[in-house]
Each structure stands twice: as C-alpha cells, then as structure tokens.
Structure 1
Amino acid sequence: MKLRIRHSTRYTYDQKVQLNIHEFYLIPLQRFYFRVLKSNWTVFPKPQGIHERINFENNPYFQAWFTGETDFLEIKSDFEIEVGEFNPYGFIIQPQPVFPFDQFPYPEEFRDYLRIYTIGENFPGISDFVKGVMKESDDLVGFLVLLLAKIHSKWEHIIRHEEGIMPLVEIFESKTGSCRDLSWMLMTMLRSIGLACRFVSGYAFNPELNAGHELHAWVEVFLPGASWIGLDPSLGLLADSRYIPLGISYDPKFASPVVGNYGGASLSHLSTDVVIEVV
C-alpha cells in the first residue's frame, strides 16, 4: 500500500514578530515496515538557513533560523510512503518476568539507560486502577492489552486544538482527553509499576475512522527481548504498520512536530491540517 501524507502547520501572529530558531520534527523515523518514496518540505517565510540535525534522543529534525519580521509561519510537508505488513504481536519477551509484579524487574544492563523513561508523577487513583487491571490479567502482554481496552472503553477521545497536555488528574477524573492526553496518562500508569515508556508523535492512517486521528500521539513501552512496543490508548490497539512516527521522547514537549518561539508581545494562533490518502 502506498500513502500520500500532506501536512500543513500555520502560525499567525497579531503583529509582526521576529522568529527565533525553530526545530521541525517532520522527518519520518526509520522503520522496517515502510519506506519513504518521495518527500518535500517548504517553509514560509524562507529561512536564512535550514539544516538537518539529530537530537539527544536520535530524532532527526530540521533546524531553521530567520531574519526580518513576519506575521505568519507556515510549514508544509508532502510524503509518499510505501507501507508493508507488520505483526504488532510478533515478539517474545526475554527474560520472562514474574507476573504480577510491584515494579517491573529490568535486567541490570538496561537500567541506567531506561531510568529517564521510568520517572513520572503518580497519585493513588492511578496506582489503584493499574493494580486492579493487573489482578484481572494472567501475563504481561495480556495486562497491556486489557489496560488499552479499558482506557479505550472508559475514556472519551476528543479533538483538542489547545497546545500542551491537560493536567493528569483532570484527564483521569473527567474520563476525557485528546490522543496526547490519553498517551501521557497511559505513560504515567505504566511508569507507576516501573515500565519504561516514551511518548510518540506522528501519523496514523485508518480509513474507517472520522477525521482527527491522522496527526496522532501514542506510547512505546520497552520490553526486554522485544524492545519498544507501540500502544495506542485512544483506539485501544497495539501500533501496527499504519503508524508513522515523527518524534519520540521521554517527555511530550520534546516530541512536538514544531518547536520554537518568537520575539515580541504578539499572540499566536495555530492551525494544522493533515490529509492521508491511498495512492
């Protein structure tokens, strides 16, 4: 299957501003189940300089800097991607952990590397919910599948255009959240029992769903022997070949498609549009 992905991001400002250095995380991360056939990026106003770099978590990005003043910033990307088959359950956890557990026992050789992916806030409601799901499960994979199913059934996925993440308590108690809110809540749940997680932003393609899922966020959890496994709390699924990651981080703020700021007192307004179609 071949997909064409067109992604437009536009910031408008109430008055002229000076754009500071920006980072554009709009380069699909390497995965064995897809390959990029064509790609094109355009930025308006035209940057004085734009170069591809790699950040501290090995995410490729474009670093751009500007001169002069402007009342808008627009970034457009256009990809054609060939997608193959991928079984999200095609893995074996090794060594197999004792289940259930209070804190996941990572092998010693992984612990230092994974520490930053295990730190997170917590509160009793989160812990009680996770432990309750674990009591209903027979093994680790079954627990992850059941946890995804419960979040999908009990929490309403909403389209929220405001930037940032809702407060964790609000997400948990209101039983609503955008894909990035639900992903952050899932990360917190898994981190509360010692599982290493990271936040993923990118594209998801499902022609059976209404608009609003194309620019998406989900979670990856690290399982020894299987490495990083994608989990989508918004849809209650393990991530398959229809998920195209752009940025991955231990903290959502480092996985946004566009990172940057500007000089001046103007307010900014964001609009985005993503179209994914089979070609």
Structure 2
Amino acid sequence: MTLLSVTHTTVYRYQRPVTFGEHRLMFRPRDSHDIRLVNTALIIAPQADIRWMHDVFSNSIAIASFQEAASELRFESRVVIDHYGLDYPDFAIEPYAQTYPFSYPAEEIADLGRSVERHYPDPDRKVDAWAKRFVEGSGPVGTQDLLTRINSAIQAEFRYERRYAIGVQTPAETLEKGSGTCRDLAVFMMGVARALGFAARFVSGYLYDPAVEDDQAPESDVTNGVQGAGDTHAWVQIYLPGAGWVEFDPTNGQVGGANLIRVAVAREPSQAVPVQGTFYGATGDFIDMDVEVRVTKPITT
C-alpha cells in the first residue's frame, strides 16, 4: 500500500468578467479494492453550488453551477488515497482465455459488446495490419504476453507529445504520424485491441512519478522513463476473463496500474473529459487555461 496525495488545478482566464454555465467535473478517483479514498476537497472560485451524480459507467461526477461573473475560473481538487496497485502482476486468466484467440462467454459478451466494437475508421486497414503482426505465425499465442508486447511496442515505436487541443487522433492518424498524446496512444491501443476482438475501454486519471518527489519538472520525464506526469493521464483497460479489467499504459509500457490512479472509465475519451462547461461572453474574451497535476507521497510527522 502507498499513500498518495493528488492536487489537480485547472484555471481559465478571460479578458473581462464573464458568466458561466454548468460545469461537469471528473476529479474524484474511483473507490475500489486497489484505490481507497482517505479524504477529498474541491475548491472552486468563483463560488459554486455543487451536486453529485454517477454517470452510466459509475464515474463520480460533480456538477458546478455559478451565480457570479468573474475574469478567472479556478478548480482545485485535493485528494489523498491508499493505493494498492501492483507492478506487472501475473493475472489469473481463465484457462480457456490464456491463449489467443478465444471467445468471451455469452453471459459476458452481452455487457462487453460496445467495448469490443471498433469506433474509428481504418479505411486502408493499416491499424489491422499493425495489430496482426503480433499474432502471425503458427498456432495460438499467450494472451497476457500478446497484450504486453503490444503495449511495449507502442511505447517503443511512437513518440509521446503534449497537446492541449480538444479531442483525440484516430488510431489511423496516430499510426500515420507516429506520435501522440497519452490519450492518442490509449485510443490507438484500444483500436488495436478491438481489431483483435478484445473488449477495451478508455481510462482517465493521474500518474505517479517518483521523480516529482525530487522536484524535477515534468519535462525531465523522458530521462526518468516516465512520461505524462504533471498533467492528467490516459491509458487503457482490457477485459480478460478471470482477471477482469486489466490496466495497460502504452505511453509508458506499463502493465498493472502500480502508478496509475483511475478517475474515469468510459467507452470513448469524449465521455471522460476532466472539465466540461461553457461561458457566456464574446469569442475573444477567453485568454488561456492552465492545468497542473501533482501526485506525491504526503509528508508525515
């Protein structure tokens, strides 16, 4: 068990005071057997009324409603969690699913169906070809080994880059460019996994990088072997019978979620955006936004 503190700050700035519509916030980590919330705080300026709900995936959603105009909108989420993730665990996959290919049982495919469907075009079947190189040969391959190799190959063959524009690249676009954000690489792995018949879903949350404890900037992540810290992070879960939803982080080539803190799971990334909302003013009123995420071990006395 590791005790971790997460501070996630998002700030929007405007040329003059503007008014705000409702904002949908996804900051609260998902309680589970491997993540236990110890305490939480949500600080919003200007002051907002908050109501809570669960979405269709049981993610915890805060809806913020505003009465005041302001030239700056600030959200700060502070949480402390007990984290029980494991490095590269040996998953207890059902015997029939330990080699690929296999079929999900009928009682599970009814619930997994939309997570198996492909949702992005691949007109030239280039994503298919990239995926099939891992299963070409004579006979079945080990399921866990197959997915681990795919996860590692994405880390090795694609360049990680930061991009704050809304939206994600399609798997075909990421393959063509050879680069992408963590969410692009997650969507690419989802596309590859679904091309091979696996159920896959998108995960948004936070990444713990021990280098942050030494006050190293996120830009140093490349030399530390960890990329994506200092911001929200994205990865993939793939459903394996007997093991359940297993974490794969293609940005860092990691399996098992030892340094991953889940906030939202969804079928597609548009369903797991940390902050969504509107403001009312002129088009040119918006100046910029800043996002900062810091995940550390709390100082104890």
TM-score with structure 1 setting the length: 0.91
- The aligned runs of 1:57-96 (5 Å cut-off) are 57-84=57-84, 86=86, 88-94=88-94, 96=96
Indicate yes or no: 2:168 matched with 1:149: no
- Residue in 2 that maps onto 1:241: 258
Deviation at 1:178, TM superposition (A): 0.7
- Residue in 2 that maps onto 1:8: 9
Distance across 2 between alignment mates of 1:97 and 1:169 = 28
Indicate yes or no: 2:222 matched with 1:222: no
C-alpha offsets along residues 175-208 of structure 1, whole Å, 9 cap, x if unaligned? Answer: 1111001001110111112211111110111224
Indicate yes or no: 2:196 matched with 1:197: no
- Residue in 1 that maps onto 2:176: 173
Tell me whether 222-231 or 212-221 shows the greater mean CA deviation. Answer: 212-221
Distance across 2 between alignment mates of 1:88 and 1:71 = 46
> Is contact 1:133–1:143 with CA below 8 Å preserved after alignment?
yes
Code of the residue aligned with 1:51 in structure 2: it is: R
Deviation at 1:75, TM superposition (A): 0.4
- Residue in 2 that maps onto 1:135: 136
C-alpha offsets along residues 145-196 of structure 1, whole Å, 9 cap, x if unaligned? Answer: 1101111110011122222212433211111111001001110111112211
Code of the residue aligned with 1:134 in structure 2: it is: V
Q: SS of the residue aligned with 1:135?
A: coil
Q: What are structure 1's unaligned runs of at least 5 residues?
A: none
> Is contact 2:14–2:72 with CA below 8 Å preserved after alignment?
yes
Deviation at 1:246, TM superposition (A): 0.8
Q: SS of the residue aligned with 1:270?
A: strand
Give the total of aligned pairs: 276
Distance across 1 between alignment mates of 2:283 and 2:89 = 49
Code of the residue aligned with 2:295 in structure 1: it is: I
- Residue in 2 that maps onto 1:50: 50
Code of the residue aligned with 2:238 in structure 1: it is: V
- Residue in 2 that maps onto 1:112: 110
Q: SS of the residue aligned with 2:89?
A: coil
Residue identity over aligned pairs, in percent, reads: 25
Distance across 2 between alignment mates of 1:19 and 1:201 = 25
- Residue in 2 that maps onto 1:273: 292
- Residue in 2 that maps onto 1:125: 126
Tell me whether 143-152 or 169-178 shows the greater mean CA deviation. Answer: 169-178
- Residue in 1 that maps onto 2:225: none
> Is contact 2:170–2:188 with CA below 8 Å preserved after alignment?
no
Deviation at 1:260, TM superposition (A): 1.8
Distance across 2 between alignment mates of 1:92 and 1:167 = 32
Q: SS of the residue aligned with 1:245?
A: strand
> Is contact 1:126–1:189 with CA below 8 Å preserved after alignment?
yes
Q: SS of the residue aligned with 1:169?
A: helix
Deviation at 1:91, TM superposition (A): 2.5
Tell me whether 123-132 or 28-37 shows the greater mean CA deviation. Answer: 28-37
Deviation at 1:81, TM superposition (A): 2.2
Q: SS of the residue aligned with 2:141?
A: coil
Tell me whether 131-140 or 211-220 shows the greater mean CA deviation. Answer: 131-140
